[in-house]
Amino acid sequence: MVTIEFITKEDLEQFKQELFSELRRPGQKLHKTSEQKEWLKSYEVRKLLSISPGTLQSLRDTGTLKFSKVGGLMFYKYDDVAALIEGRNKSARH
């Protein structure tokens, strides 16, 4: 049996507020070094962003963070993660 869940406008607004509060944490700026990997696994992204697995899932579901799936693993471009953090720092300053 398939379970269908409906997302309300209020659910999305609450998610947005939680996401922005997590993204506004100070000191979150990344600079790519020569030894930095181009692709990151989910646990690495969660550690860099200080987010839960559910929040990472939401970032994927909303298209906020692009990913590639290889087998059962999700991979994220380092530059996409850095851009997400940079965008967060810019929006936190305004």
**Cβ atoms < 10 Å from Cβ of 43:** 10
Rounded to whole angstroms, the Cα distance separating 31 from 79 reads: 9
Rounded to whole angstroms, the Cα distance separating 45 from 82 reads: 10
pLDDT digits (tens, 9 = 90+) for 65-83: 999 999 889 999 999 998 8
Rounded to whole angstroms, the Cα distance separating 65 from 87 reads: 12
pTM of the model: 0.58
64 has pLDDT over 90:
yes
pLDDT digits (tens, 9 = 90+) for 29-60: 555 555 678 899 999 999 988 899 999 999 99
- Nearest CA to 80 among 67, 61, 62? 67
